[in-house]
Amino acid sequence: MKKIRVAFLLFVYDKTQKLYRKYFKKKKRQWQFNEKQLLEFKEDSLGRKLGEFYKKYGFSMIPKMENHDVHHLITGCGTNFEDEIAMQYLLLGNGKLNAHLLAAVVLGTLILPEYLKIYISAYKKGQRMRPFHSWDFESLLWQNFDNLKDYIQQKETVVLY
């Protein structure tokens, strides 16, 4: 039964992600790098880690959706469907809000409710992280991956004078 539910979610995702890119990402340009070029970055850089991610999973870059894949690296969220939904919860907790994200959260919760504890945990994790959902990660591809990940995973602290 789960296979049918996941197949339905994949069908919905396939149909809506093109519309999402067209209407929600129309001002955004695609990155100027491809998967092969990312592998030429310094070994410990975000760019190299992203290139290795694409190579490991056999994925290719989707124009205007490159940040999504960086989110997988930064958050440690997997790539199976329940992890994709968990990542949307994490991004919601991090402050991201749009119709596509809300639809993924609602539909994912309704179709795969057995993962609700994981989703809630991901939401709380997103709240604990520095707001990163709107960052331009293309400009950070040269940065040390571990340092960037550590920085994001530390919630900003209030400084009182």
Rg, Å, the chain Cα set: 16
How confident is the model over 63-80, as a mean pLDDT?
93
What average pLDDT does the structure give for the chain? 90
Single-letter amino acid, residue 113: P
CB 42 within 8 A of CB 48: yes
CB 123 within 8 A of CB 92: yes
How confident is the model over 85-96, as a mean pLDDT?
97
Using alpha carbons, select from 100, 152, 106, 104 the residue that is nearest to residue 127.
152
- The residues spanned by each domain of the chain are 31-153
Amino acid 42: pLDDT: 98
Confidence (pTM): 0.86
- Interacting residues of 151 by C-beta distance below 8 A, sequence separation 6+: 130
Amino acid 155: pLDDT: 66
Using alpha carbons, select from 117, 120, 90, 88 the residue that is nearest to residue 105.
88
Rounded to the nearest 10 degrees, the angle between the axes of helix 116-128 and helix 81-93 is: 40
Single-letter amino acid, residue 103: A
